[in-house]
Amino acid sequence: MKKRTRLEVIRDLLVVLQRNKQVKITHLIYKANLSNNSIKPYINYLLKNNLAEQVIVDEKRMFKITPHGNGFLEEFNKIKIFSESYGL
């Protein structure tokens, strides 16, 4: 199976967040097919770039997609083809 690019992993995480209103980190790991360690930099990236936000519900850490994250998903194909054509 072909290894996913960084952009594709971010897309997969955002798709999980878009389909569910609020998601726990364990759910994200399971749905996006990532390991406990490998998800951390991606989560940091999503939070840092305002693609997702963290909410505390019943003392549990949950994540949800932001409008900026929705914009990313709409433009994802364009970004992917652009970066692929220039090898970025």
Partner 1 sequence: MVFTLSLGDFYGIDSIVEFLIILVSLIIAYQSNKIYNLIKDKTYRFFSFAFLAIAISFVFKILSNLTIMYRMIIEKANFIFVIWHQFQYMQLINFLGFIFYKTFNIIGFLILFFIITKTKDKEKIFLFIYFSIIAIVLSIYFDFIFHITLVWILLFLTSHFYENHKNHRTTNTLLVFIAFLLMLISHSSFIFEAINPWFYLIGEILLLIGFFCLLINQIKLKRQSKDKNRNKNNYEKTNKIRGNKRLVSGFAKK
Q: Which residues bind partner 1 (CB under 8 A)?
A: 7, 10, 48-49, 51, 68, 71-72, 74-75, 77-79, 81-88
Indicate the residue among 7 and 25 with the shorter CB distance to partner 1.
Answer: 7
Q: Shortest Cβ distance from residue 75 to partner 1 (Å)?
A: 6
Which helix (H) or strand (E) segment holds residue 65: the answer is strand 60-65
Q: Shortest Cβ distance from residue 26 to partner 1 (Å)?
A: 26
Contact 24, 62 (CB under 8 A): yes
- How many alpha carbons fall within 13 Å on the CB side of residue 83? 10
Q: Shortest Cβ distance from residue 48 to partner 1 (Å)?
A: 8
Indicate the residue among 41 and 71 with the shorter CB distance to partner 1.
Answer: 71
Q: Shortest Cβ distance from residue 13 to partner 1 (Å)?
A: 13
The partner residues of 52 in beta bridges, in order of sequence, read 65
Indicate the residue among 38 and 49 with the shorter CB distance to partner 1.
Answer: 49
List C-alpha distances in Å: 65 to 14, 22, 39, 86.
7, 8, 16, 29
